[in-house]
Structure 1
Amino acid sequence: MSDFTVEADWSPHLAVDGGVVDIIVTVTSSAGGAPAAQGAAPSVAQVIMVDCSGSMAGREIEEAKRATNAAIDALRDGVRFAVIAGTERAQAAFPVNQTLVPANDRTRREAKQAVRTMRAGGGTAIGQWLTLARHLFQADPAEIRHAILLTDGANGEARGTLARVLEECAGAFVCDSRGVGSGWVATELRAIASALLGTADALADSGDLATEFRSMIEAQMGKVVADVGLRLWTPAGADVRAVKQVFPEVVDLTTRRTEVNARSGDYPLGAWGAESRDYHVSLSVPGAKPLETRAVLRAGVVARDGTPLAEQKLVTATWTEDIEQSTKVNPRVAQYLGQTELDEAIQEAVAARKAGDTERATAKFGRAAKLAHETGRVGTLKLIEKAVEVVDAPSGTVKLRTTGGVSRDEEMLEARSQKTARVGRGTKES
């Protein structure tokens, strides 16, 4: 076993005719070093994709180059890396032979010289940038593969191209997507992060890019365990309805299951350092006799080859005819369900705005304001207040600020709504 632990919070009583069990699974790694079974820390590869389209001209391209240099400086010796200049095509800015090279004093200096020559011009074809990144990673043996993608505009490729490319890239590398300037699209940033198990965000000021890039690289340099999986076992008759990461941000893993056997499946969690993440597992469970207690879930974490990294956590339920007991929701579960619903409400609100449905948009923004208030998401509520006029958050009363298209504040809200607040384990029933 390694330095991983698995804990769970749930409501232990279920109605005799069955129903849904919602469980928050907390995975924690102290990650003082790689697991003994794996020996030395895993090898790392890094690709930095920089939007060099015409709209980046001026301050933004200069700040993007400064940020890329900061990222290069943050790479530890030996990490293999490359820089892609993205326009309507993908070009390897460094090295030019489309390979990854190990970071050292010489290659860092050469890379920064190449970055200085990057110029803004042309269009935006994000799918091509990702395809080149996949090519670079697939030709390299690194165990941890991480990319940063920066864009200031909407993808200009044919409809469906980006979705197809993301499907091809899934599992090949992790990608953090960032927007800067005024032309990026939140749904595209989130789609990239969701498919590639990364994070999505947008920066109002390009002057913050260097700090952001450095932070993302430093986070990767702290990863010491590659390709961790969440292994879930369920008994006969139980079905997994959904599996989502709910902290530090919402990532839907439901469709990412790899079958292990008839009752078990693995869900990809990416690489880990010293950190803790929370996952929502929703199960549909059949009925049973009153006072009967059964196992409904075993949750564990495994390495790429299936080696267990922690003791499994057993989750049981007791069937009851007591309605008060069977309808009671664990407070921690309730808080995370509210935060997940908040993220969904914001996405639906912005989608309604894009479709011109102001009535639905108002209702969804109102629901989002109410949920942000109830779940203590102060930062998200502030973003909602920038996007719409919040008349009364507790009741969910809001007014749209404009009757036109989606504002930049609404896009920013959508880009950041998946970030969640940690719910403590003070009230647990495990």
Structure 2
Amino acid sequence: MHDIRAIRENPEIFDAALARRGLAPMSSDILSLDEERRAAIHAAETAQAAQNAASKQVGAAKAKGDEVEFERLRALVAEKKAEVAAMQARAVALDTELRDKLLLIPNNPLDEVPQGADEADNVEVRRWGTPRELGFTAKEHYQLPAVGAAMDFETAAKLSGARFVVLKGGVARVHRALAQFMLDLHTDEHGLIENITPVLVRSETMLGTGQLPKFAEDSYETTNGWWLIPTAEVTLTNYVAGETVDEAALPMRMCGHTNCFRSEAGSAGKDTAGMLRQHQFEKVEMVTICRPEDAIAEHERMTKCAETVLERLNLPYRRIVLCTGDMGFGAQKTYDLEVWLPGQNTYREISSVSTCGTFQARRMNGRYKPAAGGKPEFVATLNGSGLAVGRCLIAVLENGQEEDGSVTLPAALHPYLGGKTRLVDGKLV
């Protein structure tokens, strides 16, 4: 969420940032509402002071035995009390209106983020690895003979509908091995602390990271008001909601493996074949909470953590910096990692790593106490996939496919598969 003081001090900078997002200027309307809100608060405080003064006079008149004056003042206090209540209610309503407006405005992009309208304007930063020359026509993951019936969309459709999958046998074990491999790498080598968090959260938890109120249709709400998380970013980042942590506790570097749930309301008709875009999927999420001045360096470090997963699995990928028009709502800057998928003959997103500055912290009121003293400051938050497990499974299957219909599995997974190295007809061998 934006700092209203920063908008007051530099409205032109605020509007310029919105323009980079392709949005119309908003500072005038926001500041007009803010001025009305502050005037209402001042009026309520003035009326409250008048009420308090009259209340003291009531007591003095009573002590003097002046019943006429006592009754007059008591009536005045009652009148002032009703007036104060109305003014306070008006001030609260305006404060809520302003907050609701600010909650719908996206984060300001950093100056270094490329200007652009959509994904066509994203900029490739670098590539790693060279796609294999297969020597035969590549198949998509769900077409591979090695997968066979172990990737079962028909049963999933019977149980739940479209965009679900049942994984069985060797495919299920490879999927599990990938998640375990990611967690071990992040905790043993990257210094992240593993967390197992709930997948059902309160509305205020979703609001804190920006999923609400703007993107409610993209998530699932239960009948009793809980929300199914779209990613562990929601739970891990909210650890500091309403908290003030010591500077010595920063940076907080965490990861968590969870089921994730997305309605995909805005992606109708996209990637309907296979398991590339599902309503339920698993992800190993990374979150960092740090001082704002450390956020840019943390963004590079976190992106490298995700890249290391792909490199250890020998999966070719490229790093993309998203343009202003394609960047997420809460991000200041985002790197997407796109893995090579032979079956589609293209790179597809497998991780998105974003630095959000203090944007989320303001929404959730997460602060830190500077070691040198002074007022508590808002923390900075970062999040990124490390990685999406299902998409990583797709990449492993497609990049490891052989002409005989089998799949050769990455050496990094062999210890997690009991020494098995290949997938044949849904079974590990």
What is the TM-score normalised by the length of structure 2? 0.24
Instruction: Name the larger-Rg structure.
Output: 2
What is the TM-score normalised by the length of structure 1? 0.24
The structure where strand makes up a greater share of residues is 1
